[in-house]
Copies of this chain bind each other. A is one copy, B any other.
Amino acid sequence: MNEFEQEAKKYFSKNVTDRDRAIFEGAITLGAIFHQFIGTPVKNDPKTIEALEKSIELSMSCQPYIEKVDAKIVPSKLKSGEHSYDYSELKGENLVIKVISKYGNVRVHSRMKYIDELDFPLMYIENIEE
């Protein structure tokens, strides 16, 4: 842990464990991805979709203690770009995200996907490895 990471750690409550911290950092990134990219124009075109997925993955991997971000834009509900108004704004229902965060020896797999039964883009913890 370098001096900046030491400095940051001082602000956390003393009873925060590595597990707590790994969960915390992964969840921040899920919330961040959703609220940064929702609303972006997108159409059902592989190049546009891939560029957006890649920029989500690379930019959001900059965040602290994020090991990997995987973003998939589900094309099935996207408009196809056949005329000037035939495109979509990216919504929670179009986006599947996996985030792996790691702090100390704990690795957390967090996800977001749209759940039909809830009509909601649910964020959840898929697995905690200690």
Contacts and interface: CB of A to CB of B under 8 A. Distances in A.
A122 interface: yes
Contact of A91 (B26, B55, B91): B91
B40 A59 contact: yes
Interface string A17-56: 0011101111111111111101111110001100110111
A21 to B, nearest CB: 8
Contacts of A28: 27-28, 30-31, 123
Interface of A: 2, 4-5, 7-8, 11-13, 15-16, 19-21, 23-36, 38-43, 47-48, 51-52, 54-60, 62-65, 81, 83-87, 89, 91-92, 110-111, 115, 117-118, 120-128
